[in-house]
Amino acid sequence: MSDTDFLSLANPGVQKLTPYAPGKPLEELEREYGITEAVKLASNENPLGPSPAAVAAVKKAAAELHRYPDGNSFELKAALAKKHVLDSSQITLGNGSNDVLELIARTFVMPGDEVLFSAHAFAVYPIVTQAVNGVMNIAPATSADSEQPYGHDLDAMAARINEKTRVIFVANPNNPTGTWVQRDALRQFVEQVPSRVIVVVDEAYFEFVEEADYPDATEWLSEFPNLIVTRTFSKLYGIPGVRIGYGLSHPDIADLLNRVRQPFNVNSLAQAAAVAALNDDDYLQKSLDNNRQGLQQIVQACKANGWGYIPSVGNFICVKVGEHADAVYEGLLKEGVIVRPIAGYQLPEYVRVTIGTPEENARFIQALETVLKSLD
């Protein structure tokens, strides 16, 4: 073993980082607890499995694995440009949308610059900020008794913009709370932001939202050159395993991000899967129907059992289980149900539950009833 203090050699921002903690894998749970037929409702995955069209495209593309992928992703960019009525020069592809978020921080944030985001917002925002020696400026969230509990308070965020602010992250809807901001409020916020500050609207869960006043921030790109909108294929499109996401922006911003982007950061299987999934309308509609019904199923159970919850428009919901949330999480694991504890998001009394199939949702509801009774 080396006696070298490698921590002291690392970038100061990296020294303070805590690695992102992913949802517990099914195989790990079954191995640790000797459980079979467990269900995973921890990582906001599509419970219907991947798009059949994407699977077929991956099988076909596998024959060319001896070739490097198209470094410019021509076919996928063309498909995305058509979908969003934009030019391909406005697209930055990433190894998941997390990759694009990291590219944004590396491109625009220098040591000492501030990155502004809300409390209870996505865990990747502080990670990418610290990794580049940026300074986190965390705005307070809305109150627990507001219409959007623990959501983005855009007025509080606007009040924190200063000369050091370089990037602002707005998750709409937000993970892990499932809260969202309305069209007029978000537009007014973007209008207030100085043009020298990059505004990132993270729309990873965009496709699930069916609220009439929910905005599509991509429609504003021509008006706000400092705006970046990020999307992913990991949620509704059902292909997180190949890692593919993208950013939409002014061409000049995309050009800068693509200078930082690693060559071949999106593999050939991911590109093929994304093109196919983008147009698999039957699969997408089935996924939306399942999510709508499943969200209602869990909300009804919360109301029937007196469980608190945060109203969500995503493919997940936070259920209030009380001060013994860690014990509830462990109890659910023993029942063969994986959810996500979110004490790391400063919501220690909640667990986040992905919307599953009707059978998986029922399994979670029954398991939670059992665990809570055992803790009484």
- Which pLDDT belongs to residue 157? 98
Return the number of other C-beta atoms located less than 10 Å from residue 89's C-beta. 14
**Cα separation, 71 vs 48, whole angstroms:** 31
- Selection from 181, 178, 228, 185 nearest residue 208 by Cα: 178
pTM reported for the whole predicted model: 0.94
Helix residue spans in 143-280 (DSSP H):
154-159, 183-192, 251-260, 268-278
Total number of residues shown for the chain: 376
Distance CA 174, CA 121 (A): 6
Q: Kindly give, in sequence order, each residue whose CB lies less than 8 Å from that of residue 224, ignoring residues fewer than 6 positions away.
A: 190, 191, 199
Whole-angstrom distance, CA of residue 60 vs CA of residue 82: 23
Spans in the chain with pLDDT lower than 70:
1-2, 20-21
CATH of domain 52-278: 3.40.640.10
Domain boundary assignment for the chain: 11-40+282-375, 52-278
- Nearest-CA neighbor of 69 among 91, 95, 87? 95
Burial (0-12, 13-18, 19+ Cβ within 10 Å), 334: middle
Q: Per-residue pLDDT tens for 177-236?
A: 999 999 999 999 999 999 999 999 999 999 999 999 999 999 999 999 999 999 999 999
Q: What integer pLDDT is reported at residue 2 of this predicted model? A: 65
pLDDT at residue 1, as a whole number:
57
Concatenating the DSSP letter of every residue in 38-84 gives -EE-SS---TT-S-HHHHHHHHHHGGGTTS---TT-HHHHHHHHHHH
How many Cα neighbours within 13 Å face the side chain of 261? 27
Cα separation, 240 vs 234, whole angstroms: 4
Q: In sequence order, what DSSP letters do the residues of 298-344 get, joined into one string?
A: HHHHHHHHT-EEE--SSSEEEEE--TTHHHHHHHHHHTTEE-EE-GG
130-176 confidence digits (pLDDT tens): 999 999 999 999 999 999 999 999 999 999 999 999 999 999 999 99
Written as one letter, the residue type at 256 is: L
pLDDT at position 23 is: 72
Strand pairing of 198-202 and 316-320? unpaired
* C-alpha to C-alpha distance for 280 and 238, rounded to whole angstroms: 11
Q: What's the rounded Cα separation, in Å, for the pair 367 and 369? A: 5
What gap in Å lies between CA 169 and CA 123, rounded to an integer? Answer: 11
Give the pair of three-digit tokens for residue 244: 């593919």
Give the count of alpha carbons within 13 A of 58, CB side only. Answer: 16
**DSSP states along 276-303:** HHHT-HHHHHHHHHHHHHHHHHHHHHHH
Q: What is the CATH number of domain 11-40+282-375?
A: 3.90.1150.10
Predicted local confidence at residue 98, as pLDDT? 96
DSSP state of 16: T
What is residue 9's predicted lDDT score, i.e. its pLDDT?
79
- Asked if residue 320 lies in contact with residue 350, where contact means CB atoms within 8 angstroms, the answer is yes
